[in-house]
Amino acid sequence: MVPQMIYAGRILLAACCGIVIGWERQNRGKAAGIRTHFIISVASSLMMIISKYGFYDALQTAGTSVDVSRVGAGILAGVGLMSGGLVITQKRGVSSGITTAAGIWATVALGMSLGAGMYVTGLFATLLILLGQILMHRDLHLAKHLWKGQVDFLIPAADERCTQSNIAPAVPAVSDVAEHAMDEIAAGLERHGIEIINMKYELRNKDTIHLRIVFAAALKADRKEMAKRLAQIPYLYSYEF
């Protein structure tokens, strides 16, 4: 029982280290943040303990000289491929499924520890991961969350040269009113900590310019708060994130 309590302490220390690294990554707007690094750190610590101490009872049998730790290595390699398939990168570079993949990887480690008879260690790691997932949910705003999406604006039309013609030019000249409107939009985004990644400008008709902006924002804000910030920007037509 005492050695397994030492193992639990090692896992706890690894969890703290993972949280520190994840906090730094998440505050820099990276997709893999606190929860992902926390789970990976706990799971990797558990797997290392299993590889060192989980097979002593099998090796004590007379005549046994098989490297039984290869079984665990094979399991991890197979599950790593499966977990990689859960990570989805969308068209705007938004990644999803990272924490889910890490959770599956960690669950395999938990099963391996219990199968090796390391009951206290396995149960402790299970409770630690579960508690971490609950406490580190993004709604608690422990660190900044990376938001990515697109927002559309409808602003006054281009120069009079465009409105006098029935055919819109390929690249419409920007009137002073339109230029001022775009400056207002850029200032509004900057004021709310939203970074412009890409911008698409087109003349929708003779009277209206359609401006589409792909954005990224690392903020301590939930979905509702993010929507409120976007709603305060002038000339807003629609948004998606």
Separation of alpha carbons 155 and 199, rounded Å = 14
3-state helix, strand, coil in the chain (%, to 5): 55, 15, 25
* Residue found under tokens 């949280």: 19
| Tens of pLDDT, residues 67-99 | 656 766 776 676 676 667 656 665 555 566 777
In the chain, where the domains are located: 2-140, 146-240
Which pLDDT score, from 0 to 100, does residue 39 have?
A: 85
**The two structure tokens encoding residue 140:** 């608690």
Position 162 scores a pLDDT of: 44
Write out pLDDT tens, residues 165-188. 444 444 445 567 778 888 888 888
pLDDT tens-digit readout, 35-58: 888 888 888 888 888 877 777 776
Angle at which helices 34-53 and 69-84 pack, to 10 degrees? 160
All residues at 6 or more sequence positions from 231 whose CB lies less than 8 Å from its CB, including other chains:
none
Rounded to an integer, what distance in angstroms lies between the CA atom of residue 22 and that of residue 65? 40
Residue 145 pLDDT: 72
Residue 219 has pLDDT above 70, yes or no: yes
Share of the chain above pLDDT 70, in %: 73
Average pLDDT, the chain: 76
- Residue 222 clears pLDDT 50, i.e. is over it: yes
Fold of 146-240: Alpha-Beta Plaits (3.30.70)
Tokens matching residue 94: 């938004």
Section 194-221 average pLDDT: 83
Where are the alpha helices (H) located in 168-209, listed in sequence order? 176-191
Exposure of 216 in the CB half-sphere (CA atoms within 13 A) = 12
